[in-house]
Amino acid sequence: MKMSDFTSLGLSESLLQAVKNEGYTSPTPVQEQSIPPLLAGRDVLGVAQTGTGKTAAFALPVLQVMSRSPPQGKRFIRALVLSPTRELAAQIDERFSAYSEHLDIRHRVIFGGVGQNPQVRALQKGLDILIATPGRLLDLIGQGHADITKVEFFVLDEADRMLDMGFIRDIQKVLKLLPQRRQNLLFSATMPASISSLAGSFLNDAVMVDVSPKELTVEKIEQRIMFTRKSDKRTLLVKIIKDERVSKGLIFTRTKHGANRLVKQLEQSGLDAVAIHGNKSQGARTKALASFKKGSIPILVATDIASRGIDVEGITHVFNYDLPNEPESYVHRIGRTARAGRSGIAYAFCDDTESGYLVGIQQLIGKDIPVDDSHQFHYAGAIPKPGQKPGKMKEGKGSGKPRNNNRNRSSQGSKKGGGQSQRGNSNRGQPHRSNNQSRQRRQ
Ligand code: AMP
């Protein structure tokens, strides 16, 4: 498998050179399957998460087709990429820089949370490719600074996360402003019914490319579930971090507030940590991420949305400090480790208010997560009950005093996951949105 693989996809010399400079030797599956139909002018519906090489899968063909007809006169936005978060948008922009080095194509990223003037100036100068988060894009369109009526390529990236974040109306507004004739690309890590119907509303005879990880990514990652009381989570976490000398650990909390609090608590225990979430300024988020990437801060505490798409090499540990209320998030979270074929370990803490979430996660991944009960905080009261349904349990139920803290019981394994395991991923792709959606949106 050599560069000839990229050549056989029909990419031009300058793009082959760019890919070579990036050190890519062969295309990833999503690239192999998306690039030829995109070059041929087809719409593509890609089921792929971050880490699969999906950015190059859309950026390379878009660049290639655009460079066939260089700009005449003032530049206008010919490609629009919508991305749910600032971090992801910035990463896409950075990828466009890498791939378009030898091309006469101007691209720019715009997102909220920072001053709009430099963005307005860039738009006034003229751009070929705009990468944007939906809110800021609509603001700038509303003020007459951005014109998307001549877009030839529309890329909707991380569509499932877009919907989770409540961007559906914004997306629909953008779609109304786009010209009828254009090529569409939609990428999503999961394909719940809501995404299929969104896809159906604007894709035209799309080629479906499915490289969803299913077991693939998940299988490479060592996973452990630890049943514990909420009040013991912090001590358990500190103990693991210290015992295992975690050098690059990513910890997920459900809320921004929880992330901040945990950082303080870790610092009190002598651990260097930093938080990244939607309430932090862009500068603070960039700085936190850079320190973590560099390795100068070993622990990053994140909410799902802020972490989405963050591509940091060498994460050794992922901690689900809180279990996510959406099962798909679990797969995304643990996928932050074991990148590029490396191994990694993912710990999940489950307290007695979260056992329903665990049931949902295990249904999605089609197996039971191995239980680690060899720690002093093991709490059998958090184990899912036989036949327990996926989803939320009443808060506070049993979260006070221990009722049945039997350390020696082999817990979940002995009763086959509490009867909740449905093999074969039958739940995959089903929407798990619910009353928790509005809370998630604010993260
Ligand atoms: P993405 O899924 O687009 O976020 O890409 C994940 C990472 O894979 C990025 O760091 C890319 O630079 C890298 N990458 C993309 N395509 C390839 C390839 N064909 N070979 C090796 N690495 C790649």
pLDDT of residue 219: 63
CB-based pocket (< 6 A), ligand 1: 22, 24, 27-28, 31, 50-56, 311
Kindly list the domain boundaries of the chain, sorted by start residue.
4-212, 215-411
405 Cα to the center of ligand 1, angstroms: 46
Nearest to 78 by CA among 70, 88, 86, 87: 70
pLDDT of residue 332: 81
49 Cα to the center of ligand 1, angstroms: 11
pLDDT of residue 342: 59
Confirm or reject CATH 3.40.50.10540 for domain 4-212, answering yes or no. Answer: no
Q: What is the DSSP letter of 374?
A: -
Q: Determine phi and psi for 239, rounding to 5 degrees.
A: -65, -45
Nearest CA to ligand 1 atom 14: 53
Nearest to 256 by CA among 225, 301, 297: 301
Which of 5, 22, 30 is the pocket-test mutation for ligand 1 (most atoms within 8 Å of CB)? 22
Confirm or reject CATH 3.40.50.300 for domain 215-411, answering yes or no. Answer: yes
CA distance 208 to 204: 11
CA distance 125 to 427: 48
pLDDT of residue 426: 33
- Name residue 225's beta-bridge partners: 348, 371
Report DSSP letters for 311-332, one per residue: --TT--EEEESS--SSHHHHHH
Q: Which amino acid is at 368?
A: D
Number of Cβ atoms within 10 Å of the Cβ of 125: 11
List, in order, residues 6 or more apart from 81 with CB less than 8 Å away: 58, 89, 92, 129, 130, 131, 132, 155, 157
311 Cα to the center of ligand 1, angstroms: 9
pLDDT of residue 46: 95
Angle at 309 between CA 202 and CA 188, to 5 degrees: 25
pLDDT of residue 309: 54
Q: Determine phi and psi for 130, rounding to 5 degrees.
A: -120, 125
3 Cα to the center of ligand 1, angstroms: 15
27 Cα to the center of ligand 1, angstroms: 9
CA distance 323 to 359: 11
Task: Judge contact between 59 and 99, C-beta under 8 A.
Answer: yes
Element (H, E) at 135: helix 134-142
List, in order, residues 6 or more apart from 158 with CB less than 8 Å away: 50, 83, 84, 85, 88, 187, 188, 189, 308, 309
pLDDT of residue 95: 96
CA distance 94 to 87: 10
Which of 3, 16, 19, 28 is the pocket-test mutation for ligand 1 (most atoms within 8 Å of CB)? 28
Note down pLDDT in tens along the chain; length 443 residues: 344 488 899 999 999 999 999 988 889 889 999 999 999 999 999 999 888 899 999 999 999 999 998 878 899 999 999 999 999 999 999 999 999 998 999 999 999 999 999 999 999 999 999 999 999 999 999 999 999 999 999 999 999 999 988 999 999 999 999 999 999 999 998 888 889 899 999 999 999 998 876 544 556 688 999 999 999 999 999 999 999 999 999 999 999 999 999 999 999 999 999 998 877 777 888 888 889 988 999 999 998 876 665 667 788 899 999 999 888 888 888 877 765 555 689 999 999 999 999 999 998 887 899 999 999 999 999 999 998 988 865 444 433 333 343 333 333 433 333 333 333 333 333 333 333 333 333 33
pLDDT of residue 5: 82
Query: Is the fold of 4-212 the same as that of 215-411?
Result: yes
